[in-house]
Structure 1
Amino acid sequence: MGLLSLRGTALARARVCLIVVPSFLLFGYNQSNIGGVLNYPSFIKYFPEIDTSNTSGAVKANNAKVQGTVVAIYTIGCLIGALGITQIGNRIGRRKSLIIAAAIAAIGQIIQSSSFSIGQLVVGRIISGIGNGGVNAVVPVWQSECTAPKSRGKNVVIIGIFISSGIAAAGWVNVGFSFIKNNEVAWRFPLAVPILFTMMIMTFTLFFPESPRWLISKGRLEEAFDTMRKLSREDSIDDANIRVEIDNISSLLQEGSQSERGFLDLIKPGRQRLFYRMGLAIGINFCAQMTGANVISYYGSTIFKESLGLEEKKAALLNAGVLTWKIVAAISAYLSVDRFGRKPLFIIACLGMGLSMAALAGCVWAIDYRYTFGASVAATFFLFSFMTFFPLGFLGANFLYSAEIAPQDLRIHLAAIGTATHWLFNFVIVEITPIAFVTIKWRYYIVYAVIGVSVAGFVYFFFPETNSRSLEEMDELFSDPEHWWKVPSYARVLRTGMPEASLGKPSVSHIESI
């Protein structure tokens, strides 16, 4: 009865702790856990097809390709799950679709951790990916729809802290079990840990209210009214104002669409500029992946060992240290996203990551051709530098942006497209990295340096700022300018000179946040 009686700030905090935390610990942990066990003798015993530690020449090159596919196939499952959840997310609601996705993820983890053949391992990774992709698509939408505009950024970007915590946890779990790497429990237990997170999601989701915006979209106005009262602080409840807000949201939904829409509507021309919005959702998640963060998250130990020439135990400890530093760096986004906005953080993050990768390429070149202790130390510094900038813009804010620029009836669709893009390019990174390490070596880091610096300009010219605008105001932000390319400059005018009231629609301010 304790959870059911919570309201306002207490309810928001409980939702973060019991839903958002396990959801994105699951996300982060799954992103890097298998990378730390690939070289364990007990793992290679069952999966010799992906052994790159005890092979050389053509055999090693072939095994590297297979290894990349086995690791990356999980991300294809995530892509399928992110897109597939839209088929039920708008029909049965955010809560039920989240429970279904978590259950699928649990089944996949069970299959994966009990694998005795590479086929079983691949099937388990695909199924767990489908579930995890669904969870990733639903939670930012649910969270953004239950949060006030003034703090929506930090309440969604906070997921970055939990993603990085999950990644770091996987790193340290692998360090601990590396001392018994000849025993198969050293890899089976780490692969089974995420089952705990899925159990938490399935259990606690039942105790939290459905998204009020989804309830309004389905005409369940009394339930929406009760939910908004629960989400309001005790000292700010005003039933009359809540009714007005519900009427405003309902009327905006009716103006936006008279019939149920789907993915095809995103490519149709119209004043809402849905195709442009879809391009932004795809673009920001492309930026999040193709700047190289998951090269480090998945293959950090390999970088320290093979690129920097460090011995195995030191490589594992430094990798865990980089992933732990990511948690500290993620706090910067939480503190700044609602103060400075989304766009400045994206740009600063891109420039910082690009310059760090350029410096890392130079250091690895020096190590390859003329090994020096100084180059190894400098390379380690630039890996930590990269992980300082990445969480600032792309460890949560990319999911937030995809969810908040969408109209209500297509929010789950646009968020899913953003998440699917994230996983598609994640697949590309994880698939090609083992091959790139063997073939182009230090030049591989130059690719990410160029992309990082380039996308900073892309973000500046094409992305509008969305900070402090209610979800209902986004339609006017995108539809008011005469041409789509004027939307970013129009957003700057609104942010710097035009009073919020001039948009003509009140914000939903009775929804509480932490």
Structure 2
Amino acid sequence: MTMGFFGLTGPALARARIVLIVVPAFLLFGFNQSNIGGVLQYPSFIKYFPGLDTANTEGSTKSTNAKVQGTVVAIYTIGCLIGALGVTQVGNRIGRRKSLILVSIVATVGLLIQATSFSLGQLVFGRILSGIGNGGVNAIVPVWQSECTKPRSRGKNVVIIGIFIATGIAAAGWTNYGLSHLSHSEVAWRLPLCLPIIFTLILIFATWWFPESPRWLISRGRDEEARAAMVTLAGPKNANHEGITQEIRAISNALQEASTSERGFSDLFKHNRQRLFYRLCLAVGINFAAQMTGANAISYYGTTIFQASLGLPEQRASLLNAGVLTWKIFAAVSAYLTVDRFGRRPLFVISGLGMGVSMASLAVSVWVLQDHYTYAASVAATFFLFFYMTFFPLGFLGANFLYSTEIAPQDLRMHLSAIGTATHWLFNFVIAEITPVAFVTIKYRYYIVYAVIAFSVSMLIFFFFPETKGFSLEEMDNLFREPEHWWQVTKYSQALRKCGVLELEVGEKVEMVHHIEQPEKSAVNE
């Protein structure tokens, strides 16, 4: 039998996987996302990269430097996009574990190059390479985690990544705030750029100790290894061997029904009964929503918002920004506690509505401050920034990655997850590029754009995004295939849940229970 980390099995092994795989993977995500933003104006940093100086320049030079600075910050996200898309074939060919180790090594090399930079070209190359590694990590870990978790707890076991992303972002903010007192020393910017290596090293050495995804093993015809992995994941005391045999058979049948030949990205654009193009649109849409509702405008440029838009002094602006990012951690716990209780779809809708109200209110507050500074308007704007960070983590700081993996067929799960992650990074790049320009040109109207997008996202999710809570990964194919038209899938998922589609844990009862009356199913298709 395959043994887990130091002989752990079952729930204990699941907790160890969260601590040693999920935690460092998404601390890496969050820390890398915010660490460079706090060091750009340090004298010791400007000494080596004068072309990024916007604090001591004026006029056209400042404008040019600002554009270069935005590109240097944002180029990392392009690396992440490349890594997310590029890891798909690797992940399907060599497995989740080996591919995670490979991309972690790439990220480590990139971080070393970045932290030891003495020229702008070296810095840019290091950021792209570390982005490629980080994008690969972000694409692989949610897939591996979801494939090793039962439907009953799959949501919270993947959504928990949001807590660690928020923790990484906040850690970078506080690290930069503390090192700002040493801004004339090189350690003030080289240390934050190399600290994430701690997380990549944990991933490299800990990954070997955990079982490979049983679903991937079955897809490669390695059923006995998959059986051993399932026993380890369930725990010997809870493992029902007959149930595991049925589960292996169900996964094998799903793979055989999916395709008799190897499929790739092009298959996601095909219109067929599996509705792969519809699933592709869902994965792209949910990750578009995670970015284009304004969260990273705050994460990247929070200090600028407090200082330029709200008129607060530099020290207070920096402190409040760190406070907002820290509050994001506590708010992220709400998703962990509710995603498997209430489902994905309600959280997405509530989160979108809350963000829309927050951004609309922030626009009004900043509009008032733009004409005449008032303490009340400044307090109101600060409140709505914190209010926004109460709602964003509820739906879009982890559940978006979960949703992309849940709706995918087994042989295309890496592909769809990669496209979702790549969408996340593409619009992350857009936000990093346009936000400084938007602050200068359209000012408070910039927040109105995010408010409109957030309200629109809530409506689209309500009507077109099916609930996935409680369905096994293999049942997703039936969920998308059975309705007559693609726009009936959302209603069909609600009908299934009302009629009782259950998958009981291994050791209790493994066979699916479908109490769906034909008249009700027909009603959905009408």
Shift of 1:485: 0.6
Task: State the identity %.
Answer: 69
Compute the displacement of 1:251 (Å). Answer: 1.6
Q: Could you tell me which residue of structure 1 aligns to residue 206 of structure 2?
A: 204
Paired position in structure 2 for 1:498: 499
Q: CA deviation at 1:507?
A: 6.1
Q: Which residue number in structure 2 is paired with residue 280 of structure 1? A: 282
Partner in structure 1 of residue 311 of structure 2:
309
**1:36–1:301 CA contact under 8 A, matched in 2:** no
The superposition leaves residues 231-276 of structure 1 with CA deviations (integer Å, 9 ceiling, x where unpaired) of 1134322222211211121122111111111001111121100000
Report the Cα distance in structure 2 between the residues aligned to 1:215 and 1:152, rounded to whole angstroms: 19
User: CA offset at residue 346 of structure 1?
Assistant: 0.5
Q: Helix, strand or coil: the match of 2:499?
A: coil
User: What residue in structure 1 maps to residue 511 of structure 2?
Assistant: none
Cα-to-partner distance string for 1:162-221 (whole Å, 9 max, x where unaligned): 000000000100110011111111011001110110000000001000000000111100
How far apart, CA to CA, are the structure 1 residues paired with 2:410 and 2:505?
14
Q: Contact 1:361 / 1:443 at 8 angstroms: preserved in 2?
A: yes
TM superposition outliers: structure 1 runs of 4+ over 4 Å: none
Alignment length (residue pairs)? 506
Segment of structure 1 superposing worse, 220-229 or 438-447: 438-447
What per-residue deviation string (whole Å, max 9, x for no partner) do you get for residues 263-293 of structure 1? 0111112110000000000000000000010
Gap change, CA 1:188 and 1:343, over 3 Å in 2: same
Structure 2 residue corresponding to 1:392, chosen from 391, 394, 416:
394
- Separation of aligned partners in 2, 1:427 and 1:269: 30
Aligned position for 1:418: 420
Residue 123 (1) aligns with residue 119 (2)? no
Secondary structure of 1:215 counterpart: helix
Q: 1:468 to 1:2 in 2, by over 3 A?
A: closer
User: Aligned partners of 1:250 and 1:430: how far apart in 2?
Assistant: 43
Could you say which residue in structure 2 is the equivalent of 1:290? Answer: 292
Letter in 2 for 1:314: R
Q: Residue 82 of structure 2 aligns with which residue?
A: 80
Give the one of 236, 242, 245 matched to 2:244: 242
1:333-385 residue CA offsets vs partner (Å, 9 max, x unmatched): 00000111101100111111111111111111222210112211111111101
Distance 1:40 1:94, change over 3 A: same
- Distance, in Å, in 2 between the alignment partners of 1:276 and 1:188 is 45
In the TM superposition, what are the counterparts of 1:430-509 in structure 2 within 5 Å? 430-495=432-497, 497-500=498-501, 509=506
Match for residue 66 of structure 2 among 64, 67, 71: 64
Q: Is contact 1:245–1:508 with CA below 8 Å preserved after alignment?
A: no
Q: Deviations over 1:125-167 (max 9, x none)?
A: 1000000000000000000000000110000000000000000
Deviates more, 1:103-112 or 1:54-63: 54-63
Whether the 8 Å CA contact 1:49–1:63 is kept in 2: the answer is yes
2:429 to 420, 424, 427: 427
Greater RCO, 1 or 2 (C-alpha within 8 Å, sep 6+): 1
**Structure 2 counterparts to residues 10-21 of structure 1, below 5 A:** 10-21=12-23
**Contact 2:407–2:476, Cα closer than 8 Å, also in 1:** yes
C-alpha separation between the residues in 2 aligned to 1:354 and 1:42? 40
- Taking the aligned partners of 1:354 and 1:296, their CA distance within structure 2 comes to 14
RMSD, aligned α-carbons: 1.3
Greater mean alpha carbon deviation, residues 62-71 or residues 189-198: 62-71
The one-letter code matched in structure 1 to 2:145 is Q
What does the per-residue CA deviation read over 1:273-331, in whole Å, with 9 as the maximum and x for residues that have no partner?
00000000000000000001001111111111211122222111111110000000000
For the Cα contact (< 8 Å) 1:68–1:433, is it kept in 2? Answer: no
The CA distance in 2 between the partners of 1:486 and 1:3, in whole Å, is 44
Question: Which of 193, 215, 218 is the matching residue for 1:216?
Answer: 218
Partners of 1:364 and 1:126 lie apart in 2 by 35
1:347 to 322, 336, 349: 349
In the aligned structure 2, how far is the partner of 1:158 from the partner of 1:92? 26
CA contact (8 A) 2:4 2:211 kept: no
Is 1:74–1:126's contact at 8 Å kept on the other side of the alignment? yes
Instruction: Give 5+ residue unaligned stretches, structure 2.
Output: 509-526
TM-score (norm: length of structure 1): 0.96
Partner residue of 2:515?
Answer: none
Relative distance call for 1:368 and 1:57 in structure 2 (3 A) is farther
Structure 2 partner of 1:231: 233
- Does the CA-based 8 Å contact 2:243-2:506 persist in structure 1? no
8 A Cα contact 2:175 2:192, kept in partner = yes
CA displacement at 1:3 relative to structure 2? 2.2
Aligned to 2:102: 100
Displacement after TM superposition at 1:57 (Å): 2.8
Shift of 1:58: 2.6
**CA 1:58–1:126 in 2, change beyond 3 Å: closer, same or farther?**
same
